[in-house]
Amino acid sequence: MASKNKKGTRRDAINKRRKGLLAVVLPWLRRFGLVAAVFISLIWVGSWLYLSGAVGRAGDWSRDKILTASADMGFAIENILVDGRQYADAHVLLAIVNVEKGDPLFSFDPKAAQELISQVGWVESAQVERRLPGTIYIGLKERHPLALWQSEKRLKLLDDKGKVIVTGDLQRFADLILVMGKDSPAATPELIGNLQAQPDIYKRVETAKYISQRRWDLQLKNGIEVKLPEEDMGLALARLGRAQEKDGLLDKDIRSIDMREIDRISIRTKPGKVQEYKTDLKIEAATKGKTGNNI
């Protein structure tokens, strides 16, 4: 009997310990299960809202309300300020900006507009900003039209880097020099730069032909042809400019002027006679490092 009582007492003690452990653990399990259930429910509801688009619509609604409120507070678009525009189409710029007077200023995305404006043919670079309280600022650096290029019987407009500017309206650039010849666009900026250093010659040039990808022949508006050298083009044009200044050479009744030799100017009169033009002018050869003979 004593043995049975001891066993019963031990079993009762074990049962009590088990009940005590369950009494401690069960409440935590219940709480964890409740939290897990709530967490799972929130995930499910959130997923449903996201997939159904309700979250996006709610976010859009909140955003629209905030933007409308900002406009009511005075941050509404009143002006579009464009700086540096000469050739870019104003209607194209307005279409890209795509805003109306009174729209919330903060609804306008400057970065997106800047990326689109930078793709306009005339634009080299663009800066777009919001300026409080109600101005959109567009700063443009446009490409500079330099010359017309005849290629395969078609005319194209070149910028000051020798690159083609995509434009359909070339009539307003009819006064620019027309260049021709293989690879002439890449050599055009140097030619025009040297011509512009001699304004009296520059204004007389009508066309320029790139010969053998090495040098230029100029056709003046009065019909005179000027053959420039392969090297020292700037020096040759300076000599020609001085000859025009001193003796009015380009106004004489001549057919062509050959500048290919550094120490003289050869001219051909209209009957076809070749003669050497001489003055008392001396010019130092820039690249050959010596003084040229009398022209």
Got the DSSP string for 8-22?
A: HHHHHHHHHHHHHHH
Domain positions in the chain are 2-52, 70-142, 145-277
Of 286, 205, 203, the residue nearest 238 (C-alpha): 286
**CA dist., res. 157 & res. 164, Å (int):** 6
> Given this model, what pLDDT does residue 37 score?
53
CATH number 3.90.79.10 given to 145-277: no
Q: What is the pLDDT of residues 257-288, one digit of tens each?
A: 999 998 888 999 876 666 666 544 444 444 34
Cα–Cα distance between 85 and 162 in angstroms, integer? 21
Pairwise CA distance, residues 228 & 209, whole Å: 10
Homologous superfamily of the 70-142 domain (CATH): membrane protein fhac (3.10.20.310)
For residue 191, the Cα-to-chain-centroid distance in whole angstroms is 24
Q: Which residue has the higher pLDDT, 15 or 170?
A: 170
The 10s digit of each residue's pLDDT in 20-29 is: 554 554 555 4
Q: What are the helix (H) ranges across 98-232? A: 110-117, 184-196, 199-202
For 196-228, write each residue's pLDDT tens digit.
999 999 999 999 999 999 999 999 999 999 999
Task: Of 232, 231, 230, 249, give the one whose Cα is nearest residue 240.
Answer: 249
Strand partners, 123: 142
Residue 115 pLDDT:
97
Q: Over the stretch 228-242, which tens digit does the pLDDT of each residue have? A: 999 999 999 999 999
- Gyration radius from the chain CA atoms: 41
**pTM given for the model:** 0.68
- Could you give the CA distance from residue 217 to residue 180 in angstroms, rounded to a whole number? 10
